[in-house]
């Protein structure tokens, strides 16, 4: 693995780790946040998620010296609270992810999608809920290995501007190293040394091959072009059935005929759309014209 003294750790606005607020999230306040995140992001939060909302927003209460979640809710729904509203949405929509998560999907790219592409034709893949970037960088490593300088592009989007910034930086804790195959580590990753010990940086040339853009899945996508593969993994579990239908209906027009739509292995498009067919578990194909 390469070593470097040249990459910088991300800047932090505050030093230390602020302790959590002692405020209690009451049921009425929970309902307000639950309804807000459903309205903005289409995410359904059951009563079991009350503790998640409480813990993720506690530091924001501490930051603003609020003593109640109600006070914080009034801030983010006020005209002067638009910036903090984005922080709240970021806090509540960021999901755990890993490099090369669900490896059978990457085997499918390697063994089915890439060999079947038409010679000279560019391959475009969309990571439609990319979180902090592990998924699109995993895709990019595979494409760079197999296609090299042939035309290919990875587009990655997420509702959270905070995680998109983190993804663009490509800087991760060294604990993520075991998730990446050794040959990819040697080729695409820099191990921090000295002051940067304990971090790993994605090589600049690979970061340049991934285009990150903000996108809310409950809204019509911008003109991103047509894709050969769309990854929408481990996000629909947070949607109710109607929201799933609406989200998939917005994305499928951007999938070329014959293209593949990938969902998480705990997810299914059964009852969501009839416009694709199941190929292998968690992989669907749009019919050719």
User: H or E element: which one contains 72?
Assistant: helix 69-76
Helix axes 50-64, 82-93, angle to 10 degrees: 140
User: H or E element: which one contains 280?
Assistant: strand 277-280
What is the rounded (10 degree) CA torsion for 158, 161, 164, 168?
Answer: 150
Neighbours of 229 (CB within 10 A): 23
Q: Which two tokens stand for residue 113?
A: 């999608």
Burial of 233 (0-12, 13-18, 19+ CB in 10 A): buried
Neighbours of 16 (CB within 10 A): 6
**Cβ–Cβ under 8 Å, residues 135 and 101:** yes
CA distance 155 to 153: 7
Q: Which one of 60, 158, 207, 228 is the catalytic residue?
A: 158
Active-site residue flag, 187: no
Helix%, strand%, coil% for the chain, nearest 5: 45, 20, 35
Active-site residue flag, 158: yes
Report which of 225, 289, 283, 278 is spatially closest to residue 251, judged by C-alpha positions. Answer: 225
Q: Which two tokens stand for residue 269?
A: 């498009």
Question: What's the order of all strands across the beta sheet hosting 171-173?
Answer: 2-4, 189-192, 199-202, 171-173
> 3-class DSSP state for residue 278?
strand
Neighbours of 211 (CB within 10 A): 14
Active site residues: 56, 158
């Amino acid at each position: 693995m390469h070593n470097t003294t040249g990459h910088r750790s991300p800047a932090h606005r505050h030093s230390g780790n602020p302790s959590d607020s002692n405020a209690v999230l009451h049921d009425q306040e929970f309902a307000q946040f639950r309804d807000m995140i459903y309205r903005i992001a289409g995410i359904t939060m059951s009563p079991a998620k009350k503790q998640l909302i409480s813990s993720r927003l506690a530091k924001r209460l501490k930051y603003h010296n609020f003593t109640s979640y109600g006070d914080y809710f009034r801030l983010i729904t006020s005209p002067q609270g638009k910036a903090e509203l984005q922080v709240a949405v970021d806090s509540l929509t960021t999901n755990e992810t890993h490099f090369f998560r669900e490896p059978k999907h990457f085997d499918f790219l390697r063994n089915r999608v890439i060999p079947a592409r038409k010679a000279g034709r560019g391959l475009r893949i969309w990571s439609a809920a990319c979180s902090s970037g592990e998924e699109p960088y995993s895709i990019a490593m595979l494409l760079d290995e197999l296609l090299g300088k042939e035309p290919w592009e990875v587009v990655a989007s997420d509702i959270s501007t905070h995680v998109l910034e983190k993804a663009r930086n490509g800087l991760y804790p060294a604990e993520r190293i075991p998730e990446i195959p050794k040959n990819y580590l040697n080729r695409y990753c820099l191990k921090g040394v000295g002051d940067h010990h304990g971090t790993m940086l994605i090589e600049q040339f690979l970061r340049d091959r991934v285009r990150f853009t903000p996108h809310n899945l409950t809204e019509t996508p911008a003109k991103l072009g047509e894709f050969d593969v769309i990854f929408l993994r481990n996000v629909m579990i947070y949607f109710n059935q109607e929201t799933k239908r609406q989200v998939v209906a917005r994305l499928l027009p951007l999938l070329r005929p014959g293209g593949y739509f990938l969902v998480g292995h705990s997810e299914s498009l059964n009852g969501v759309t009839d416009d694709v067919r199941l190929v292998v578990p968690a992989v669907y194909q749009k019919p050719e014209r």
